[in-house]
Each structure stands twice: as C-alpha cells, then as structure tokens.
C-alpha cells in the first residue's frame, strides 16, 4: 500500500530565499509523481508532473526531482515570493498505479 | 480548455440529512476521482471511475456514501445520512488516463466545502 509523507509540515521564510520541500513514498514502483499547489479554500492546481523515466522537471522558478530508488522527490523553489505562499502537496500512484495517493502537504509562508 | 466543474461550492446541512455533489470533468477525460479532504490533511480517495465503471471504491463508506457516473461523463456523490465527521472539502478530479500512464496528469475542481452541524 502506497504511503506518502512530506517534510516539513510547515515552513516560513523571508522573501527571496531558495527552499526545498521533501516528499517520500513507500512503493517505488511508480509511473509518475505529481506536485500540486493549494491556496486556502481552493482546489488543487497541478504544478509539475515527473515521469518515472525523468529525473527532473522544471517550470519557471520550480524544479522537481525524482529518485525512485530511494522513494523520494523534492520540489525546489527559487527566489521565493509572497505569492508562493500556499500548501504544496505531492501525489504518487497507489493501488497498483491506478490512482493517486497524497501526502499531508507542506504549508509555506513567504514573508515580504 | 474548460476545467473540472463542481457544484455547489458550499453546503451546510444538519446531521442525518442528505446531500449531493455534482462534478463535470474535462471533456475527453475517461478517469474521474472523488477525494475527501479534511482540514489540515491531504486528500483521500473515495472512489475512482474509468468511464462509467468503478475502478476503486475501497475507501468509500458504502453504508452512507454513494456515487455514480452515468454515461461516463458527469458524476454525483451522495451522502445519506450525513455525520458530523463528514465535514470536509469534497474534490473532484479527472485525468485522461490512470496513474499507470506515464504522462497522466490529474486536474482538480474547486471543491465543495461541506459543513455538517
């Protein structure tokens, strides 16, 4: 059974810092992994999808890496801005790859 | 491209009442998911459809929750009777394929916030 954890649970940084969010999963037989952003009271917005054959995926100031052998993924945010404040969730395939299992999220606050 | 549509956005009901949520996925997406998100937690899968067939409903409390996806497009999720612990955000998502597909990306609606009093 796939289990996903995220560290840290919450993070508060001053504007301009580079930061790393961590995601761990127990079943490494995955086809892909997805990172999402969730603003308060809103749904989930897809940020990045990393295929199992890829090691990294980039979108603007965001870079996600995937290491299947160690069961880990990291989301790197460069030059953080107050607008980056949100909860970041990672999701890995579960149930033999049929659907997505979510971690609890990392709540990020970027202070101006 | 239109996103995943959900309604209503908010709902307040008393315990033991019934409630229904509606979801319209992105056009052409065969897979539809209903997730429950309790405050402070990550979303938990309730049920997954592939076209109009159920793929996974192992975590759906079947004594009170039901869902259907008629004609493989729109879906409704119903709770009857509701309990206080059902207070949560109910998220609908859709994807072209399943998690087994390398480039499958899940897209979520805005969610329905349910408060049971």
Q: Percentage of chain A surpassing pLDDT 70?
A: 98
Reported confidence tier of residue B100, pLDDT bands at 50, 70, 90: low
- Count interface pairs A-B at CB distance under 8 A: 83
Label each residue of A3-64 as H, E or C. CEEEECCEEEEECCCCEEEEEEECCCCCCEEEEEEECCCCCEEEEEEEECCCCEEEECCEEE
pLDDT given for residue A57 in this prediction: 93
Q: Do B102 and A96 touch (CB under 8 A)?
A: no
What residue in B sits closest to A94 (Cα-Cα)?
B99
Q: Percentage of chain A surpassing pLDDT 90?
A: 76
Mean pLDDT in chain B?
Answer: 92
Q: Pick from B99, B102, B113: which is nearest to A99 by CB?
A: B99
pLDDT given for residue B102 in this prediction: 59
Q: Do A100 and B56 touch (CB under 8 A)?
A: no
Q: What is the pLDDT of residues A59-111, one digit of tens each?
A: 999 999 999 999 999 999 999 999 999 999 999 988 776 788 999 999 999 99
Q: Pick from B4, B43, B55: which is nearest to A98 by CB?
A: B55
């Amino acid at each position: 059974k796939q289990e996903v954890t995220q560290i840290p649970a919450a993070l508060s940084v001053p504007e301009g810092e580079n930061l790393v969010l961590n995601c761990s999963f127990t079943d490494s037989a995955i086809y892909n992994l997805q990172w999402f952003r969730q603003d308060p009271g809103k749904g989930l917005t897809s940020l990045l999808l990393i295929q199992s054959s890829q090691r990294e995926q980039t979108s603007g100031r965001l870079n996600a890496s995937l290491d299947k052998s160690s069961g880990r993924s990291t989301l790197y945010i460069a030059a953080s801005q107050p607008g980056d404040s949100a909860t970041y969730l990672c999701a890995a395939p579960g149930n033999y790859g049929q659907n997505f299992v979510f971690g609890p999220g990392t709540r990020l606050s970027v202070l101006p | 491209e239109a996103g995943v549509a959900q309604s209503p956005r908010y709902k307040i009901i008393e315990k033991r009442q019934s409630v229904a949520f509606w979801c319209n996925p992105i056009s052409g997406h065969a897979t539809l998911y209903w997730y429950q998100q309790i405050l402070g937690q990550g979303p938990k899968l309730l049920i997954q459809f592939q076209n109009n067939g159920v793929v996974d409903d192992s975590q759906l409390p079947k004594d009170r929750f039901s869902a259907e996806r008629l004609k493989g497009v729109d879906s409704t999720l119903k709770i009857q009777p509701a309990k206080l612990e059902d207070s949560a955000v109910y998220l609908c998502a859709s994807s072209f394929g399943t998690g087994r597909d390398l480039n499958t990306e899940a897209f979520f609606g805005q969610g329905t916030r349910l408060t049971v009093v």
